[in-house]
Amino acid sequence: MASSTLAINQHNTEEELHPLQALGYFICSQAASINTLDYGKNDKTVKLLYSIAHTNLVQLSGEEEEKLEAISNICNSNQIQLQKIKICLEKGDEASKEKALSYVDNTLEYSRRQKRKYCETIETTPIEETPPLVHLNKKRQQSIPVYLNDEHKAELHRFVQRFKSIESGRTNWKKCFQQGHLDSIQAMKHFKTNESLICHH
């Protein structure tokens, strides 16, 4: 180390450290914050090291928060599906059994998608994504699971069954969603889009 390099002096808080000195000091001090250092707070290398450490910490904590949120969302979605399956099985008729099997298939596919998303490492070079959607995403809002109490569940079930009995052919969920709001169905107020209604029912 050059003789011009200033040694660490506890009585001089404005010293400029040699980069290797700063690195050694950073590692050995094990201070969680630059503000808790006895000296070297104003050294540019020490500042850089703490900046890098802070960026990495934010990244790691963000990853953990995303994992916890994902686990919570997956559990909630599976809970909703299991409740639907239970209701169908309790009815016991053939149509309800077929519907329960359909819910099972949907749940299995959902679980496979989540496993690919969070667990499997992509080893091949991915195809470049198209530009992010701006205007379309305003219309195509992500459906968020809706949780209803027993009274609202019963109200929604009665309304949907009544709507299906009136309409012929495949259920028009957009029309069902709109009609529910026109009829002031309280349970329908919990849904922001017809997609969220489909996911729930």
**Domain endpoint, select from 94, 122, 150:** 122
Residues 62 and 88 grouped into a single domain: yes
* Per-residue DSSP letter, 4: T
| DSSP per-residue letters across 105-134 | HHHHHHHHHHHHHHT----SPPPPPPPPPS
Residues 160 and 66 grouped into a single domain: no
State how many domains the chain has.
2
Q: Would you say residue 3 lies in a domain?
A: no
Residues 81 and 112 grouped into a single domain: yes
**Domain endpoint, select from 64, 87, 122:** 122
Q: How many residues in total does the chain contain?
A: 201
Q: Would you say residue 7 lies in a domain?
A: no
**Domain endpoint, select from 122, 144, 173:** 122
| Helix H or strand E segment including 26 | helix 19-29
pTM value is: 0.38
Residue 63: which domain range? Answer: 13-122
pLDDT by 10s per residue, the chain, length 201: 333 333 444 444 456 777 777 777 676 776 766 766 766 667 777 778 778 887 877 787 877 888 888 888 888 888 999 999 999 999 988 888 888 998 998 899 888 888 887 776 444 455 566 666 555 555 555 555 566 788 888 888 888 888 888 877 788 888 888 888 888 888 888 877 777 777 666
